[in-house]
A and B are shown apart, each in its own frame.
Chain A
Amino acid sequence: DADVTQTPRNRITKTGKRIMLECSQTKGHDRMYWYRQDPGLGLRLIYYSFDVKDINKGEISDGYSVSRQAQAKFSLSLESAIPNQTALYFCATSPRGYGYTFGSGTRLTVV
């Protein structure tokens, strides 16, 4: 099993629908992150969490919400999906003071 697992891998949804992307990790890291990647661009931070009770907004949090259900699980929700949220979404984990491990990504298309 992968260290960081994202589900689903691909999803097509309609405008206005609520959708949840899930991330789970087996590395025991405290820190978890959700990033978004648009074509030709780098990754932009949506939300991050340093532990179960510490959740923070990133640079592009509008239209998104998150839930840290346990140390190992961090979910990202789009409350009412819109087409410009079509992107590749990545979850990452890290221990304090060390580098990131990324999941394989979720390719989301909003039609």
Chain B
Amino acid sequence: GIQVEQSPPDLILQEGANSTLRCNFSDSVNNLQWFHQNPWGQLINLFYIPSGTKQNGRLSATTVATERYSLLYISSSQTTDSGVYFCAVEGRTNAGKSTFGDGTTLTVKP
């Protein structure tokens, strides 16, 4: 099946800093999603982005499907951005089901 690698595994920032999280995948994709898991375990869908760029407030994401990667940008980080960020990818050969990376754990310090 498709392989999904996220980097870095851990990231520590001061409040107000910017960050870039990366997701690499091994095959062509039908779709790609970014999720935030908060410290209470809840999973929130941030972006559905099989290609192109999307923005939502301080967060934006870009997927370059031909080069098999996606980036999640967080600007002016806040302590509430802390948690784990997951990339989930649906490969062309596994239609309808997504494979998750191991996540990037972000800690934003006040």
Interface residues of A (CB under 8 A from B): 31, 33, 35, 40-45, 48, 50, 56, 58-59, 88, 90, 96-102, 104-105, 107
Question: With an 8 A cutoff between CB atoms, is B72 at the interface?
Answer: no
Name the B residues within 8 Å of A50 (CB-CB).
96
Cross-chain contact B97 with A45 (CB below 8 angstroms): yes
Contact of A100 with B45 in the complex, beta carbons under 8 Å: yes
Complex: A58 Cα to B97 Cα, angstroms: 9
In chain B, residues 31-62, which have Cβ atoms closer than 8 Å to a Cβ of chain A?
Answer: 31, 33, 35, 41-45, 47-48
B98 within 8 A of A: yes
Q: Tell me which residues across on chain A come within 8 A of B33, comparing CB atoms.
A: 99-100
Total of A-B residue pairs, C-beta within 8 Å: 52
Find out whether the CB atom of A105 lies under 8 angstroms from the CB atom of B42: yes
Complex interface residues of chain B between 7 and 39 (CB less than 8 A to chain A): 31, 33, 35
Measured CB to CB, the nearest residue on chain A to B99 is A45
Known interface pairs A42-B86, A59-B1, A99-B31; A104-B42 also in contact (CB < 8 Å)? yes
Q: Out of A48, A58, A102, which one reaches B43, CB within 8 Å? A: A102
List chain B positions with a Cβ less than 8 A from chain A: 1, 4, 31, 33, 35, 41-45, 47-48, 86, 88, 96-103
Task: Report the bound CA distance from A12 to B79 in whole Å.
Answer: 32
A58 CB to nearest chain B CB (Å):
7
Residues of A within 8 A of B31 (CB): 97, 99
Contact of A33 among B4, B45, B97 (CB under 8 A): B97
Residue of B43, B44, B98, B99 with most chain A CB atoms under a 10 A cut-off? B43
- A50 to B84 CA separation, bound complex (whole angstroms): 28
Contact A99 B45 (CB under 8 A): yes
> Within the assembled complex, what's the spacing in Å between the Cα atoms of A33 and B45?
15
Contact between chains at A42 and B103 (CB < 8 Å): yes
B97 and A48: CB pair below 8 A? yes
**Would you mind naming 29 contact pairs between A and B with Cβ atoms under 8 Å apart?**
A31-B96, A35-B100, A41-B102, A41-B103, A42-B4, A42-B100, A42-B103, A43-B88, A43-B100, A45-B97, A45-B98, A45-B99, A48-B97, A56-B97, A59-B1, A96-B96, A97-B31, A99-B47, A99-B48, A100-B33, A100-B45, A100-B88, A101-B45, A102-B35, A102-B43, A102-B44, A105-B41, A105-B42, A105-B43
